Amino acid sequence: MPKRTTLTLTPQALAFLDPIKPALQEFWRTEGSRMKPGEALFQIEKRFGAQIVEELCIPLGFKDFECLLIARAVAEGVDTLDVYL
Query: How does the average pLDDT of the chain come out, rounded?
Result: 93
Label residues 10-28 b or e (16+ Cβ within 10 Å = b): eeebbebbeebbeebeebb
Separation CA 37–CA 62 (nearest Å)? 20
pLDDT for residue 28 is more than 90: yes
Q: How far is CA 81 from the centre of its chain?
A: 10
pTM here? 0.90
C-alpha 56/C-alpha 76 separation (Å) is: 17
Quote the CA–CA distance of 34 and 13 in Å, as a whole number. 25
Which of the four pLDDT bands, split at 50, 70 and 90, describes residue 15? very high
